[in-house]
A and B are shown apart, each in its own frame.
Chain A
């Protein structure tokens, strides 16, 4: 574990990313304390520039505090990002494992299915799904999960496919282990690194997707989110630039942090890099 952290910490960007991510999580956790009450409360005059009347980041067209919106929005963004990633992982890992381990017809069917999903432009599909199931937190999560699982399935399949023919898996076969035991104890743990790295990037993508949906007015109307803030600031950008600038920076920093963390994890988990560092004689 300490070895892992040492390798992780070697990537400066990854450390910065982790710090940002912890900060964002901290803000999300403490939002109700920093900004008590609802982020929807019309706390002041509309269109106040940043810094006026105690509104650190200004107010919106109804006099709502943009800073409070960003703090509360962090909760939604992180929640959507995490939950939809878990859901997509569940689908993707299962299908990918089936395709990669069983191979043959199962592989063919699963991969055709996956390819098909990848052919449909994912954002259009997400919009469609959210619209069909009416915009709520769960439908947004569902839609994001639906469009995000194919890459997971592909990665997991590829990993399983290559691990399946590895000699240690063959050795497990020869030992007479059951299929499930082989998948769980031999294959999955070795496929975990790319899945973890992919998951960190998927959280980032999910946050971007959620914000894009909210931006188009397809977010849960009861939850303050960053995309909503930008969407509501779009039409008044000539009057109140701060309404769209600050939430955008929040998204940017969070997604950037997740990407940096993903790269750090990739460095720390990828044994190939460790090997090349050792040098070849």
Chain B
């Protein structure tokens, strides 16, 4: 796309993203507040003993005695200044809690996403090139199998295989408990811990990308310009790389942009199975404890991730596909 039009494009997408985020914030807030049980009663309950005065104190402290729209306004205003609120249960700013857990989730989802896209596209390409061969059948069956297996179960089976029976890999946590590693040793340690969770999270999406790539490759291969390339005498490898794959990647990118957000959902399961200390687990724990500010913070963080990813996808798309701006 014409580089001079990039700022306008970014501005339009940016405005759109902000509106979407605002809607998400309001929606999350209302949704979470529709939940029965307020944090005061949870804290009161868990502190072993409580009386009415204590409850009233807590409610006042959390601002829960304010009218709902005031609470919402305060929340939206806070989010605008990156103040995601304060977790009274954890006695920490939500931003801090989320920020602490975010790297682990980004590492996990990033690794899983990278693995899924690379392996998926590679498998899909291979299958499409040898359509009808045993390799194609194998890849199709494999993709279908990954597609049909529950994420958490794959995780458990990997734990069983590599952690319990073979004892090759650590299966819980993000790093070895108690080993104060640093530098390269730490990277290796985290990498070993990352392997199984990332594989688990990535397998399903790998299957999706493999199927998608295969299908779009076959579709693109039927198109006229591929025939043009062949008629030009372009070697097969180059036809695949330059003409088929590049065009086939467009729907894969679109899909990846949508899927990236869903990855966070899967991360909750994987983080639960592998005890990975990310925001997926934070969300689940916060939900169980009715820690509204944290829940909203996690939702906001994931929404930002999704929106940012969509923006990134749009941008990538605009770079790869010159027609984008025409379609507005």
Interface residues of A (CB under 8 A from B): 13, 115-116, 118-124, 126-128, 131-132, 134, 204, 208, 211-212, 215-216, 227, 230, 233-234, 237-238, 241, 244-245, 248, 251-252, 255-256, 258-260
Cβ contact within 8 Å between A241 and B160: yes
Kindly provide the distance from the CB of B203 to the nearest chain A CB, expressed in whole angstroms.
Answer: 12
Bound CA–CA A230/B145 (angstroms):
18
Main secondary structure of the interface of A (DSSP, over half): helix
Q: Which residues of A contact B295 (CB under 8 A)?
A: 128
Q: Which residues of B contact A244 (CB under 8 A)?
A: 153, 156-157, 160
Kindly provide the distance from the CB of B311 to the nearest chain A CB, expressed in whole angstroms.
Answer: 12
Known: A132-B36, A216-B272. A230 touches B153 (CB 8 A): yes
Known: A241-B160, A259-B147. A127 touches B268 (CB 8 A): yes
Q: Which residues of B contact A127 (CB under 8 A)?
A: 268, 283-284, 287
Cβ contact within 8 Å between B299 and A124: yes
Which residues of chain B (250-278) have a CB below 8 Å from chain A? 258, 261-266, 268-269, 272-273
Bound CA–CA A204/B145 (angstroms):
13
**Which residue from chain B places its CB closest to the CB of A239 in the assembled complex?**
B164
Which residues of chain B (147-185) have a CB below 8 Å from chain A? 147-153, 156-157, 159-160, 164
Cβ contact within 8 Å between A128 and B31: yes
Bound CA–CA A258/B147 (angstroms):
11
Interface status of B313 (Cβ within 8 A of chain A): no
Kindly provide the distance from the CB of A76 to the nearest chain B CB, expressed in whole angstroms.
Answer: 15
Cβ contact within 8 Å between A124 and B144: no
Cβ contact within 8 Å between B307 and A230: no
Kindly provide the distance from the CB of A208 to the nearest chain B CB, expressed in whole angstroms.
Answer: 5
Known: A116-B23, A116-B24, A208-B150. A121 touches B265 (CB 8 A): yes
Kindly provide the distance from the CB of A107 to the nearest chain B CB, expressed in whole angstroms.
Answer: 15
Cβ contact within 8 Å between B32 and A128: yes
Of B27, B35, B302, B310, which is within 8 A of A131 by CB? B35
Interface status of B34 (Cβ within 8 A of chain A): yes
Q: Which residues of B contact A234 (CB under 8 A)?
A: 152, 156, 273
Cβ contact within 8 Å between B34 and A132: yes
Known: A237-B156, A241-B160, A244-B153. A119 touches B148 (CB 8 A): no
Interface centre among A128, A251, A255, A260 (most CB of B within 10 A): A128
Which residues of chain B (305-321) have a CB below 8 Å from chain A? 306-307, 310
Bound CA–CA A13/B144 (angstroms):
11
Kindly provide the distance from the CB of B318 to the nearest chain A CB, expressed in whole angstroms.
Answer: 19
Cβ contact within 8 Å between A124 and B151: no
